Structure 1
Amino acid sequence: MAAANYLTSEDQFLCSICLDVFTDPVSTSCGHNFCKTCITEHWDRKHKIHELVPLKEEYEGRSAGKTQAETQQMIQKKRLKIEEIKQSVDLSKEEADREVAEGVQVFTALKESAERGQANLINTIKEKQKTIENQAEDFIKELEQEISELEKRSSEVEQQSFSSGRFYFEVQVKGKTEWDLGVARESINRKEEIPLSPEEGYWSIWLRDGNEYRASDDPPVLLSLKSQPQKVGVFVDYEEGLVSFYDVDAAALIYSFTGCSFNGKLYPYFSPCDNDGGKNSATLIISPVRVN
């Protein structure tokens, strides 16, 4: 619709004598426009002005008018606009034709595919589902194997005892809200519930309520940590009487017991604590002990 409006407006710039777009336009004293050549020739032939203008107004005297530079500029702009609109219409038509052609191709391809392979589509879906199930089964087997190995390692660590030298092990505590870990004497009291302290044969640290860390010294020491450890390293130097705990990822010391008197075999000590309604269900993962 916009293109039609622009095209009809071109009539305003047609000479009423030659019926073409103005060439070297001039204006008469009454305000009408003509080609300079057209109006001059008609004046020379002594035509009456009211025969040339649409309103058939009468004028006295002869006037060759004056050149309208602004009118020429407007005419040129209108011509350019007309060409622009024509080009825009052509481009729109080409785009529409192309989209129609592409749409027909897609529709045809889909129709042919549907007619040719409905049973193939079902088989493809079933094959993909089977592949997913097989991958899941393989992944579960890998996890079960890893769990078995971790349980074996944990058992080995728990059964390992030391009575000299240095040893070190790591415990992953990621996802836990409560835990205890450290080392304990072989001679600890296992029949009664006793406080964890060096006097009772425990050198350990523990977590409660997700963010409260303490060392089981006498009295217990509240620990202020910059970040929550995801893996804790435990180092023991038997002869030096030293037990140190480290944040493995941050390579930072958490706490050290010094001047310890071990008097007998030491065993790694762990407690995952209560499940707490699933909030503390993560597993303590223990790495093998390394002995120096």
Structure 2
Amino acid sequence: LSLKYMRCVDMAAASCLLTEDQFLCSICLDVFTNPVAMPCGHNFCKTCITKNWDINFPLPVSFQRVDSRGSQQQQLEPQCARSEDISCDICAGTKLKAGKSCLVCLASDCKTHLEPHLTVTGLKKHQLINSVENLQGRICVNHDKPLDLFCKNDQLCVCMLCMVSEHRLHDVVPLKKECEEKKAELGKTEAEIQQMIQRRREKILEITDSVEFSNGNANRERAVGLQVFTALKEFVDRGLAELLHTIKEMQIPIETQATSLITELEREISDLMKRNYLHFLQSFTSLNTPPPTKDWTEVRVHPPTYEGTVVRAVAELEETLRKEMNKVFEEELKRVQHNAVDVTLEPDTANPWLTLPDDGKQVKFGDENKNLSDNPKRFSYYASVLGKQSFTSGRFYYEVQVKGKTKWDLGVVRESINRKGPITINPTAGYWTLSLRTNNEYKALSDPRVHLSLKSKPGKVGVFVDYEGGLVSFYDADAAALIYSFIGCPFTERLYPFFNPCNNDGGRNALPLIIYPFHNIRFTVMQLYIRLRKIPSLKKPHN
């Protein structure tokens, strides 16, 4: 602090000396004697300028020489200040361009008026900078000193006297140093901004690519849908045409038979009505005997039986549609399987009665209740476990082998589900699941429950989720058939795969649920191997 104070005192002394130097002649370096002013604006002793007028004295280059006739000649062509330049504060009349600004004089000088600062001893001590506007803004309003320091604490430009007064305990650095640091910081910020801009441009490309990808998928789905429903419409139209043709063909023989019989009857009626009086007398004897006619008593027109015709046609159409729909489901299943993910089980969520091998790929009801820590993630009442992987966007698919089991629950759940005590399993509670119970009772656990009638018992169930689409679909993976779909699901939380192998049911349900490994996809999650401690406990869970 003392050194800074001494420097400040020295500068104050220099400032006082400079005030006296302004009255010194730049030739004799003494106080003006009978001073005279030159046209260029400089002042000299009359004696000094007279003695040295015509000798080779090193006068400033901008001084004007006056010949015997009193005419003036400039040694250097002046450069007039333009509108965008800083003009000289000393020039009278036409302003020349300023080259430097003096922080002591608070004035900007052209090359001519700058000469004293370059030659006069006292003026050489002034601080010169490149010409700038608003010199008053570069001077401390409290001390009339140049603002050549920067206070990091207050983030202010200060002068030397400020540094030893109100900023004496602050971190004060030279203005140039702070500028360099700020420029470096600005450069770093600029680089970060450029990186942010680049990331956003990349995000725009990513979004654009996503839209194009989505449009491509939409176009493909439109094409598939158009093809499928066009085919279905053709099947329906063809089935209707065949039905109408069949009915018409069945009607033709009846119409033909009826026409023939009617014609014959009309002929006999005509014969009977043609007998007149002459014919009557001539044929009286024969008239006692009726003319030979056909016995129409047993003649009947038997219309065809139409019952079942429409039913048979609809059944045939249904069978055709079923075959075509199976083709559609096969193609759809192939598409959703492209979203297959590697799912492993999370032991920390498993009910203590469950047994999980080290690979985390299967689960079954065990023989004992392990004494495990009852963490918030663990199911304490139902024999359930969650997958280790979670999803908050996109699509995913996985398959579970259920062959040989008589009871199970499968699906997805949201993260905030209740895992302690009895719970209601439905979408409102955060469960989108399918279940099997004894006697092949398949149900979608919606509200209310939906009982499902399946033609075959699935050996492998596929679970597909479209997070943004709000869709959860269950497939019979072996038969490539859709079992059930939850639609319009309001997904807002993280989703986890859900597994419930249920209890052993006296050994009838002892087989595990096995997560089917997809070897044809690239897995991005490493399998974690965790061993469960087998410690007996007390209570069996409910199903």
Taking structure 1 as the reference length, the TM-score comes to 0.47
Q: Answer 1 or 2: which has greater helix percent.
A: 1
Bigger relative contact order, structure 1 or 2, given CA contacts below 8 A and separation 6+? 1
Q: Answer 1 or 2: which has greater strand percent.
A: 1
Taking structure 2 as the reference length, the TM-score comes to 0.25
